[in-house]
Structure 1
Amino acid sequence: MENIVLTIHLILALCLIGVVLLQRSEGGGLGMGGGGGTMSARGAATALGKMTWGLAICFIATSIWLTVIAAQNSADSSVLDRLGTQGAPISEGDQSPSVPELGGDLLPPPTTGSTGDAPLLPPRAD
Structure 2
Amino acid sequence: MEKIVLAVHILTALAIIALILLQQGKGAVAGASFGSGASQTVFGSQGSGGFFTRMTAIFAVVFFATSFGLAIIAKNKAGVGADSSIPSAIESQQEQPAEDSEVPDVGGDEGSAEEVPEVPETSEQ
Question: Given the two structures, how large is their TM-score scaled by the length of structure 2?
Answer: 0.52
- TM-superposed CA distance for 1:70, in Å, is 1.0
The RMSD of aligned alpha carbons is: 3.8
Equivalent residue, structure 1, for 2:22: 22
Q: Return the offset for 1:89.
A: 6.1
Aligned twin of 2:10: 10
Structure-2 change in CA distance of 1:33 and 1:90 (3 Å):
same
Q: CA deviation at 1:44?
A: 1.7
Number of equivalences: 91
Q: How is 1:1-126 mapped onto 2 (pairs within 5 angstroms)?
A: 1-26=1-26, 28=27, 36=38, 37-74=41-78, 75=80, 101-102=100-101
Cα distance change of structure 1 residues 73 and 46 upon mapping to structure 2, 3 Å threshold? same
Aligned equivalents of 1:90, 1:64: Cα separation in 2? 41
Unaligned runs of 5+ in 1: 81-87, 104-126
Which blocks of at least 5 consecutive residues in structure 2 are unaligned?
82-86, 103-125
Q: Which amino acid aligns with 1:69?
A: I
The 3-state SS of whatever aligns with 1:42 is coil
Q: TM-score, normalised by structure 1?
A: 0.52
Deviation, structure 1 residue 45: 1.5
